[in-house]
Structure formats: C-alpha cells, structure tokens
Amino acid sequence: MLTLSRLFTFLYITRLRQFLGLSWSAWLRILPFLLGLLGLIMLWPLWLTIFWLALALFFWLLYAVAGRMGYQRFMEDETYRRDPSAGPLAAEEKVVLRATGIFSLHDREDYVLEHPAEYWHVPLGQHVFMVQYRRGNYLYQVIKPEFVQQVTPGLLLFGAQPRRALAVTFYVTWGPQYSEYQFYYVGTDNAPQPDQERTVYLTFRDEAQLHRVWCSLVGDE
C-alpha cells in the first residue's frame, strides 16, 4: 500500500509540474517514444529500440489507469469501528479536513485531490463541505441527511503515507445539473428523489475529528 500511495503521488505531481511548456508527465511519455523512433531510424540494436517503445507504452498505460482512478485509491477497512462516545458536531461547528472527489458550484464542478476543506452541518440538518479549489476560489457539496447512503472507513492511498479516511456515498442534489432546483433540494422537502450517487473521500488531522464527523454524518444510526 505504501508503494502504491507514493506512486499515485509521483504521477499526480508530474502532471502539475512543467518543463519547456509541457508537463513532466508528458515528457515521461513522449521522450521514450521519440527515442524508440530514433532507434528505428538509426538502426540501433533491436532490443534497445523495443525497450524505449515498451517504456513509452508503459507510461501511457500507467497514467491512463491512474487518471481513471483519480490518482488515488480507497481501501475499505472493515475492522475499523466508529466511536459513538465521540459525539456529533454542534450545528455550525466547523472541522478542517482534506477532501477528494467531485465538488460543485451552481454552474460548474471539478475533481479535487486532497484539497483543504471545511465541514459543518446546519440546524436544519444539511451537511456542507466547502473545498478550496484555488486560492480564494471554493467548491461545495451540500447533502441532505436522508440522502447520505453510506459512510465507510478505510485508508486513502495518496501521499507519503496512506491516511485514515472516510468514504461518503450520497445522492447528488448539488451542482450545475441541479442549479434550478438547488433552493428546493437544500431548503425544502418539495424536490423529487435524486438518482445519481457520488462518493467523496475525507481525511483528517487526527482520528478524534474523524469520529466526530462520522457521528455527524450518520446521525442516530
């Protein structure tokens, strides 16, 4: 798990770093391919040409698979139990955490990976996540308590070490596709039952915060 966690991190970082106008990840895919073509043109030994072409194919496949997985993997831990004595958060009490998944505004949404975030719930019960997308720019997720389908403990494989995390699966009622209904979804009971599920992943500074947020998400379950 440690190796996979660090591999995801390396692949993600190389997507963000640039050199001569291209990301490091692009160079890792293009250079072996160009060397393979050069080997064909210059009549290098066959094994060397095949090596460079195979390496190019390996990096293309590696980035394709990692990208499809969101450059992370969640490993469920069935042995980890919620501590009911931790108790839920008070209404409007905020917890700082990190969030992974798709978060939204009324006109757009995007995927974030381990971005700084805050969680709280309002007196009416809705769960609110505010995620820092860029400096001074935030995305959100608002979930009515009855639309929380499952909260699963586990480990998020990303970073120098896998981190204890919660996977929250819920019905989506927030985002561009629901912009004309958001008032109803968030504020009243007049909206139709949604049918699109989504899962986001939360990591915490310490396990005490994890348990309090867990208790808040599941209510009296």
pLDDT at 179: 60
- Output b/e per residue, 48-71; b: 16+ Cβ within 10 A: ebebbbebbeebeeebeebeeebb
CB count within 10 Å of CB 162 equals 21
Written as tens digits, the pLDDT of the chain (221 aa) is 889 999 999 999 999 999 998 999 999 999 999 999 999 999 899 999 999 999 999 999 999 999 999 999 999 999 999 998 899 999 999 999 999 999 998 778 999 999 999 999 999 889 999 999 988 899 999 999 999 999 999 999 999 999 999 999 999 887 776 665 554 445 445 555 677 899 999 999 999 999 999 999 998 55
Closest CA to 171 of 128, 142, 138: 142
Closest CA to 153 of 197, 201, 115, 113: 201
Which residues partner with 139 through β-bridges?
131
pTM of structure = 0.89
Per CATH, which fold does 74-218 belong to? PH-domain like (2.30.29)
For CA atoms 98, 100, 101, 106, the dihedral sign is positive
Q: Token pair of 96, please? A: 């700082």
Closest CA to 205 of 157, 153, 163, 155: 163
Question: Burial level of 7, CB count in 10 A (0-12/13-18/19+)?
Answer: middle
SS3 65: helix
**Domain-wise residue ranges, the chain:** 2-71, 74-218
pLDDT at 182: 52
**Cα separation of 165 and 96, whole Å?**
14
Residue that is written with structure tokens 């391919």 in the block: 33
Question: Is-contact 64 26, C-beta < 8 A?
Answer: no
CA 147 vs. chain centroid, Å, equals 20
pLDDT at 181: 55
**Cα separation of 191 and 183, whole Å?**
9
Question: Is-contact 142 130, C-beta < 8 A?
Answer: no
Question: Is-contact 118 95, C-beta < 8 A?
Answer: yes
pLDDT at 107: 78
**Cα separation of 218 and 221, whole Å?**
6
